[in-house]
Amino acid sequence: MEIVCVSCSRGEDEVPLTEWRYQGDRFAVCPECLPMLIHHREQAMQRWHLNRQSGGDDDAPR
């Protein structure tokens, strides 16, 4: 499975990617989208659907 930036969906062939871990999951972010994660983390996590504890949407495939 290809790893892509959680924000802009570019793959590691196009941009350098850093892999992060959160609540047992992993996601990748490229340098261009990283400031968003650092400076606006809560917004970014919501936008990228990384917050699991909020509400009852269960779109996480198991």
Residues of the shown chain interacting with Zn ion in the complex, contacts defined by CB under 5 A: 5, 7-8, 30, 33
Count of positions (residues) in the chain: 62
Taking the least distance from each CB to Zn ion, the nearer of 34 and 51 is 34
Q: How far is the CB of 2 from Zn ion (least distance, A)?
A: 14
DSSP notation for 17-45:
-EEEEETTEEEEE-TTTHHHHHHSHHHHH
The letter for the amino acid at 35 is P
Taking the least distance from each CB to Zn ion, the nearer of 13 and 57 is 13
Taking the least distance from each CB to Zn ion, the nearer of 9 and 25 is 9
